[in-house]
Amino acid sequence: MHRIAVFASGTGSNFEAIATACQRGEIDAQVVLMVCDKPQAEVVAKAERLGIESFVFSPKDYASKADFETEIVSLLDKAQVELICLAGYMRIVGDTLLSAYEGRIINIHPSLLPAFAGARAVEQALEYGVKVFGITIHWVDHTLDGGKIIAQRAFEYYGDSAEEIHRIGQQIEHKMYVETIKKILK
């Protein structure tokens, strides 16, 4: 059985989709660690409910990104993590984590990259006026949302509600992330 870590900063719906797919045996893996940089985030309670060990921290308690990433790397090493899945982790991965785990970190992003990288991707796309939205899963490297693409899904949308696009996108994300992790681990 493979060992994965999920990093999140918010609601954690992707974390939950991945963790429950593992618990149901749909993915031949166990989420051995959830990492969260926001102590108040909903994902923290979700991890607790699912019985998944978590490392929750406040970046302001550390002198630098290298400091908290050093701690994260030692936890990942100890838990023998093979794959890191960023799922709404709203922080740029720094050199410390990247040099230790490059080639083993993937991210899900709510746009058809390379369009609309960075924060507020859905809002950016809506403001631009596109009618085809989508989701991308990619390898994480030192660029912002610029690593090699693994999978993409697109959908048409002609309305003007960012909330609705998020809702449609997230339904796609949950299935797509599970399917992609399964393929990578094979």
Catalytic positions are 109
- Least gap, CB of 49 to ligand GAR (angstroms): 15
**Total site size for ligand GAR, rule CB under 6 A:** 15
Among 10-18, 52-60, 62-70, 149-157, the segment contacting ligand GAR (CB under 6 A):
10-18
Asked if 26 contacts 1 with a C-beta cutoff of 8 angstroms, the reply is no
Asked if 111 contacts 157 with a C-beta cutoff of 8 angstroms, the reply is no
Per CB under 6 A, 152 contacts ligand GAR: no
Query: Which of 19/32 has CB closer to ligand GAR?
Result: 19
For ligand GAR, the binding residues in 91-110 under the rule CB under 6 A are 108-110
Number of other residues whose CB lies within 10 A of the CB of residue 79: 17
- DSSP code of residue 26: S
The residue within the footprint of ligand GAR, chosen from 8, 18, 137, 184 (CB under 6 A), is 8
Residue type, 3: R
For ligand GAR, the binding residues in 13-72 under the rule CB under 6 A are 13-15
For ligand GAR, the binding residues in 159-178 under the rule CB under 6 A are 170, 173
Asked if 81 contacts 33 with a C-beta cutoff of 8 angstroms, the reply is yes
- Least gap, CB of 154 to ligand GAR (angstroms): 14
Report CA-CA distances (Å) from 38 to 3, 45, 102, 131: 23, 12, 24, 33
The residue within the footprint of ligand GAR, chosen from 88, 97, 113, 116 (CB under 6 A), is 88
DSSP string spanning 121-159?
Answer: HHHHHHHHT-SEEEEEEEE--SSSS-SPEEEEEEEE--S
- DSSP code of residue 68: H
Among 7-15, 77-85, 95-103, 178-186, the segment contacting ligand GAR (CB under 6 A):
7-15
Binding site for ligand GAR (CB under 6 A): 8, 10-15, 87-88, 108-110, 121, 170, 173
